[in-house]
Amino acid sequence: MNGPYTTKAEAGKIQIFDSAGSIVEDPAHQSYWDYETSKSLETSYYFTDMDRMIEHFKKRESLIYVTWNCNVQNPERSVSNDIEDLHFNEKYRVINVPKGVVQQQHPDFTLSGFGAEETNGLSSSPSKTWITEDLWVDLNKKIQDDAHPARKISTWPIERSFVYFDVSDFSRMLPGHQALVINSIVHIVQNDTYWAPVSVSDIREDMDAKICIGDGYIFVFRNALKATRFAAYLAQLTEHLHAHRKIPVEYHFRIGVHVGRVYCFWDPGRNDWNYIGDGINGGQRVLGAVGKDTDDVMFVSAQVRQKIASEPDSYWRNQVLGMLHNRGRKADKHGNPWRVYEVSHTGLMSHVTTSLNP
């Protein structure tokens, strides 16, 4: 085939022409979908492969713009040069299933009929990204899985639980001590021996990401109960290792846990996903509400307690709820009140760490 390629949409399908003006017909291979094509001096992209499409959006720092509660008046309409939204119904399933166009986020474009409040500040502009019908159907399925990359490059938020592990007085430490502290945290979390006991062996599997924030770490979980168990065990394990002199530098900590909705974006610096939204901000707000006058403590937000209480009855659900102590409403640095609960991590996890005694 001879590139570059041009396209023409008519009769409900796309025709692609090579530089010689011949129609490209390769239904078995369809390699032309992976090429950048030219059309009216505007760039278009064609994909049949999910992984390639995801990498394309990650590198371009674009988002698949998802709308819902939309009615398609004429689902049989042919594909035209106009942009087709990625439509979802109230159950977030695609209801417009011809070959379609995906939209990307753009700060200079405002959706007509939608204010910033209704769209949560997100806006979009045409991206000229076309996908095959098979990929459209596959995208419809994958995007409903909040752990799949397709969902994470979309404007449909996900719910995550965030564990803030903040090292007290970190800025007052010598630089060499700071490095030893951060390395110690990484070692504790990554050491399989420490997480071998049956009662905690399943926790790390739920972890979505680990983000270093300079003076500590943010650990991201899909489940609020497992996030709370992880935080309590990490606190107890840190104290246990300090007592047995298995950490090179002694340090103290404060832990805050919060759950909420976030948007994802690909962070090239970390080569991993990162998060924006109330969920990740709330963990810091919990710590701010607790204050800096107390060390080696763990607090969770009222949203975390509510999420755990809604879980099916289980041993760990009941154990965690029994270890939460209401510390009332406390204002964060912005003056906003937060109802926080202190967790007795020693009471919750002491029976686990005793099995690690030398």
Sheet of 124-131, strand order: 36-39, 42-47, 124-131, 100-105
Ordered alpha helix ranges (H), 97-223: 133-142, 149-152, 175-190
pTM over 0.85: no
SS3 60: coil
pLDDT of residue 2: 43
129 band by pLDDT with thresholds 50, 70 and 90: low
Q: C-alpha dihedral over 170, 174, 179, 182, to 10 degrees?
A: -20
**Nearest Cα to Cα of residue 331 among 266, 287, 270, 278:** 287
121 band by pLDDT with thresholds 50, 70 and 90: low
pLDDT digits (tens, 9 = 90+) for 173-200: 999 999 999 999 999 999 999 999 888 9
pLDDT digits (tens, 9 = 90+) for 322-337: 999 999 888 877 788 8
For the cut 70, the answer to whether the pLDDT of residue 90 exceeds it is no
Neighbour count for residue 168 (Cβ, 10 Å): 16
The residue-averaged pLDDT of 127-134 equals: 64
pLDDT of residue 256: 95
Cα–Cα distance list, 159 to 113, 151, 176, 200, 309 (Å): 27, 12, 37, 23, 17
36 band by pLDDT with thresholds 50, 70 and 90: very low
pLDDT digits (tens, 9 = 90+) for 338-356: 899 999 999 999 888 766 6
Joined together, the tokens standing for residue 296 give 């080696």
Q: Which secondary structure element, helix H or strand E, spans residue 296, and what is its range? A: none
**Nearest Cα to Cα of residue 154 among 94, 79, 114:** 94
Q: Which residue has the tokens 């607790």?
A: 290
151 band by pLDDT with thresholds 50, 70 and 90: confident
The residue-averaged pLDDT of 158-175 equals: 93
For the cut 80, the answer to whether the pLDDT of residue 254 exceeds it is yes
All domains in the chain, ordered by first residue: 6-152 (no CATH), 158-356 (3.30.70.1230)
Percent of the chain beyond pLDDT 90? 37
Joined together, the tokens standing for residue 273 give 């996903």
